[in-house]
């Protein structure tokens, strides 16, 4: 059994304004056993290791509730376009050329970036998800994985079968670090019959559903023409919203759509930077939260962002609501909740997102002894409005250190960068000579 004691400023994200300026956190194996002020370690707790981080804030790891990790390979390849031309003209032709190994290395690149920027858990949607799972298991992070399903194409049934294999092989893998959802891509790429089939399989395996919903005005128009309904109303009528559903984007919603999402307990993954870059619009996050909808934060893929930095995403999410609603909307602590405990709820993970006894030891430390963190009026405000990826010093997932003193412990970063560069350039080269 390993026992670790961390002394630091501790922001446990357990609600209210709980904060320990001289805090102590005790971990046994993969689980937190105590969190509190100096001297709060349980009597008889004899650590194998004591980590002194007096200038760091220790907080729960960040949870990215919507991404396509391997799209790091397209970073900078397809910029300055709206969604549909971006997908049709640039992204999908590139993705057609990806091999399983390309996806493994693209995902590994994403995981290096995520570890460096404080993300301990992601919800991913892509192809070759067995290779994605292997990358996650090797990196040591936590992930919910969904095989992206384009039901209207020739591979819809094969991809659904792959989803089933993914659940069978990886549900609960890596001491519970990996779990699986079904990932129908969107209501405009999957027919009603196909979505019903996916829902039946998700129910059979007691798994959740991860889907893009109401992202752009084009989508609203397509659904209106095809079904005479909004995407949310169409999905409700199909019966897709019975179990655990993560709806990514939800930018264009009617008041009735919001009522449906609230009533059906659909969780929303908000991707403010991707929505801005693709000119999709601003999601009504403040209204959704007021109606009781759980909203998590996501980066989307690195092609529409173009990074996977959840600190940047928190800042953008907050600023966008202030611009869109008013300056009191989405205060810093609430944004931190969206990126931690709210993210855990969005993904249906019950034991991460807070630093509390019995929770998994998924945490990060942020180096606060830097000019942009003085004076120290408000730690939550600094973390949301002033911090950036490079401020993360330490990461632990499931009780294991994945980064210490900004050095990655589980990944060969240089090799990952070289492989990603070589593979992405190969594909771009093939497309250029066509």
Ligand X SMILES: CSC[C@H]1O[C@@H](n2cnc3c(O)ncnc32)[C@H](O)[C@@H]1O
Residue nearest to Zn ion (CB): 300
- Please give the radius of gyration of the chain, using alpha carbons only, rounded to the nearest integer: 21
Closest distance to ligand X from the beta carbon of 169 (Å): 19
**In the set 8, 73, 127, 383, which binds ligand X (CB under 6 A)?**
127
Contact pick of 104, 126, 333, 373 for ligand X (by CB under 6 A) = 126
Of 23 and 151, CB closest to ligand X: 151
The order of strands in the sheet holding 400-404 is 31-37, 20-28, 3-10, 49-60, 363-367, 392-397, 400-404, 407-408
Q: What are the angstrom distances between the C-alpha of 254 and each of 218, 235, 291, 333?
A: 15, 14, 13, 28
Would you say 98 or 338 has its CB closer to ligand X?
Answer: 98
268-327: contacts with ligand X (CB under 6 A): 274, 300-301, 304
Three-state DSSP state, 152:
coil
| Least separation in angstroms between CB 92 and Zn ion | 13
Contacted entry of ligand X, Zn ion, none for residue 274, CB cut-off 5 to 8 Å set by kind: ligand X
Q: Give residues 270-309 in contact with Zn ion (rule: CB under 5 A).
A: 300
Which residues sit in the known binding site?
A: 66, 68, 95, 147, 185, 212, 215, 300
What is the C-alpha separation between 279 and 216, in angstroms, rounded? Answer: 8
Tokens for 265? 């307990």
Asked if 212 interacts with ligand X (CB under 6 A), we say yes
Please state, as a whole number, how many other Cβ atoms lie within 10 Å of the Cβ of residue 48: 9
Annotated binding site for substrate: 95, 147, 185, 215, 300
Among the residue ranges 125-133, 239-247, 381-389, 402-410, the one whose residues contact ligand X (CB under 6 A): 125-133
Considering only residues 349 through 408, tell me which ones interact with ligand X, judged by CB under 6 A. none
Residues in the chain: 434
Distance CA 293, CA 296 (A): 10
In the complex, least distance from residue 167 CB atom to ligand X, rounded to whole angstroms: 17
Report, in Å, the least distance between residue 417 CB and ligand X: 22
360 DSSP 8-state letter: B
| Residue with smallest beta-carbon separation from ligand X | 148
261 binds, among Zn ion, ligand X, none (CB under 5 to 8 A by kind): none
Q: Is 231 in the site for ligand X (CB under 6 A)?
A: no
Q: Which is nearer to ligand X, 7 or 147 (CB)?
A: 147
**Cα 10 to Cα 24: distance, rounded to the nearest angstrom:** 7
From 376, 373, 375, select the one nearest 386 (Cα to Cα). Answer: 373
Partner from Zn ion, ligand X, none contacting 75, C-beta within 5 to 8 A by type: none
Check residue 68 for interaction with ligand X (CB under 6 A): yes
Total binding residues for ligand X by CB under 6 A?
18
H or E element: which one contains 66?
strand 62-67
Stretch in the footprint of ligand X (CB under 6 A) among 29-37, 122-130, 284-292, 329-337: 122-130
CB-nearer residue toward ligand X: 83 or 258: 83
How is the chain split among helix, strand and coil, in percent rounded to 5? 40, 25, 35
| 427 binds ligand X, rule: CB under 6 A | no
**Contact 111/121 with Cβ under 8 angstroms?**
no
For 108, left (φ over 0), alpha (ψ -120 to 50), or beta? alpha
Which of Zn ion, ligand X, none sits in contact with 277, Cβ below 5 to 8 A by type? Answer: none
CB-side neighbour CA atoms (13 Å) of 104: 12
Q: Is 168 exposed, middle or buried (0-12, 13-18, 19+ CB in 10 A)?
A: exposed
- Residues in contact with ligand X, shown as a per-residue x/- string from 145 to 164 under the rule CB under 6 A: ---x-x--------------
By CB under 6 A, name the binding residues for ligand X: 68, 83, 87, 91, 95, 125-127, 148, 150, 185-186, 212, 215, 274, 300-301, 304
By CB under 5 A, name the binding residues for Zn ion: 300
């Amino acid at each position: 059994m390993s026992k670790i004691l961390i002394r630091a400023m501790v922001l446990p994200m357990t609600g209210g304004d709980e904060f320990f300026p001289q805090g102590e956190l005790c971990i046994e194996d993969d689980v937190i056993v105590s969190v509190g002020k100096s001297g709060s370690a349980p009597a008889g707790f004899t650590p194998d290791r004591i980590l002194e981080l007096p200038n760091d804030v220790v907080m729960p790891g960040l949870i990215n509730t919507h991404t396509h990790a391997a799209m790091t390979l397209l970073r900078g390849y397809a910029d300055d376009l709206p969604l549909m031309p971006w997908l049709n003209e640039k992204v999908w032709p590139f993705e057609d050329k990806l091999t399983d190994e390309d996806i493994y290395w693209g995902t590994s690149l994403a995981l290096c970036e995520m570890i460096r920027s404080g993300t301990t858990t992601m919800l991913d949607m892509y192809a070759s998800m067995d290779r994605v799972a292997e990358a996650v298991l090797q990196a040591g992070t936590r992930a919910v994985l969904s095989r992206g399903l384009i039901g209207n194409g020739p591979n819809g049934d094969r991809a659904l079968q792959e989803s089933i294999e993914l659940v069978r092989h990886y549900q609960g893998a890596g001491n519970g670090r990996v779990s699986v959802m079904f990932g129908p891509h969107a209501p405009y790429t999957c027919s009603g019959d196909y979505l019903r089939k996916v829902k039946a399989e998700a129910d059979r395996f007691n798994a959740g559903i991860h889907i893009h919903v109401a992202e752009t005005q084009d989508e609203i128009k397509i659904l209106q023409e095809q079904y005479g309904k909004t995407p949310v109303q169409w999905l409700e009528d199909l019966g897709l919203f019975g179990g655990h559903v993560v709806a990514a984007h939800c930018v264009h919603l009617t008041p009735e759509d919001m009522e449906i999402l609230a009533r059906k307990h659909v969780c929303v993954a908000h991707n403010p930077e991707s929505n801005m870059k693709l000119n999709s619009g601003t999601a009504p996050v403040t209204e959704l939260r007021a109606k009781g909808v759980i909203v998590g934060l996501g980066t989307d893929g690195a092609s529409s962002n173009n990074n996977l930095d959840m600190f940047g995403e928190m800042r953008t999410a907050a600023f966008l609501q202030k611009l869109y609603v008013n300056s009191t909307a989405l205060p810093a602590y609430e944004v931190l909740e969206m990126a931690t405990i709210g993210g855990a709820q969005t993904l249906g993970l019950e034991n991460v997102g807070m630093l509390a006894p019995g929770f998994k030891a998924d945490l990060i430390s942020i180096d606060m002894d830097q000019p942009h963190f003085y004076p120290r009026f408000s730690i939550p405000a600094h973390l949301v409005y002033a911090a950036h990826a490079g401020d993360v010093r330490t990461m632990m997932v499931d009780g294991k250190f994945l980064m210490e003193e900004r050095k990655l412990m589980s990944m060969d970063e240089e090799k990952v960068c070289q492989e990603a560069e070589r593979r992405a350039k190969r594909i771009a080269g093939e497309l250029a000579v066509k």
